[in-house]
Amino acid sequence: MTVFLTTVGATLTILLLGSSGLSWLNDATVRRVVARTGKANSDLWLMKPGIFVHEGLHALVGWLFGLKVTSFSLRPDVRQQSAAHVGFAYDRRSWRQRLGVLFAAGAPLWGIGAIELIIGKRAWFAQVSWTALAPAALQPDWPWVLGWLLMTVLLTFGASLSRQDRRNFWVGLPLLALLLSGAFGLLWWLAPLWLISWTKLNTLLALVLLVMAGIAGGVFLIVSSLTRL
């Protein structure tokens, strides 16, 4: 039971907490700017890069999983209470497409997080390998750092999930839980040592989530300070 919790349970927990927590924090950042300016986020130029990347990641990940993109709009959708939207058509009988709905729904959070981490590594640890990353190895390349900071602030405005995104997320979650449980059963039977690697991977994912939360929290503090001026 303990092994199941540290593998399947931990993966699902990281996915759920990461999606809900990061989305809530980034939403708070957007609300600060909207309250300060009195304009909708779709009307603010500094929000548009994040909105474009947000919808682009929805469409890209959905397409990779075989979903049909039925609409792509960067205009506000009043019914869904979102600044823009991407529409999909999918076959509910297809496990691949149902998983695609889940991953496409969460793509803006995890995709933007990956972009920030990869470019952040180049900005702060230019000549350091991924395995050697540590505070003592910090090697900031200041032009890259400034570009990374600007990019991070702009993209963070798009790193949250709308109400429809959250609904789509739940469409594929039961299937993902079932597949992870099946994978656990096969590994338990055929290659139990791989379960140790799965646990280590969850630890790495948790650390990545903490870094992403730190970046989102930093942007929130920066925006909060600026909106008080």
Q: Using pLDDT thresholds of 50, 70 and 90, give the confidence band for residue 80.
A: low
What distance in Å separates the CA atoms of residue 19 and residue 13, rounded to the nearest whole number? 10
User: In this predicted model, what pLDDT tens digit does every residue of 1-44 receive, in sequence order?
Assistant: 789 999 999 999 998 888 888 889 988 988 888 888 888 777 77
| Per-residue CA distances from 206 to 148, 166, 209 (Å) | 23, 21, 5
- The ranges assigned to domains in the chain are 2-227
pLDDT-based confidence at residue 98 (cuts at 50, 70, 90): confident
Tell me the pLDDT tens digit for each residue of 155-214.
888 888 888 888 888 878 888 899 999 999 999 999 999 999 999 889 988 888 888 888
pLDDT at site 77: 67
47 close to 41: Cβ distance less than 8 angstroms: yes
193 by Cβ neighbours in 10 Å (0-12 / 13-18 / 19+) ranks as exposed
Q: Transcribe 94-162 into DSSP letters.
A: -HHHHHHHHHHHHHHHHHHHHHHHHHHHHHHBTT--GGG--GGG-B--HHHHHHHHHHHHHHHTT-S--
Average pLDDT score, the chain: 86
Q: Do residues 51 and 158 touch, judged by C-beta distance below 8 A?
A: yes
Tokens (6 digits) for 64: 């990779």
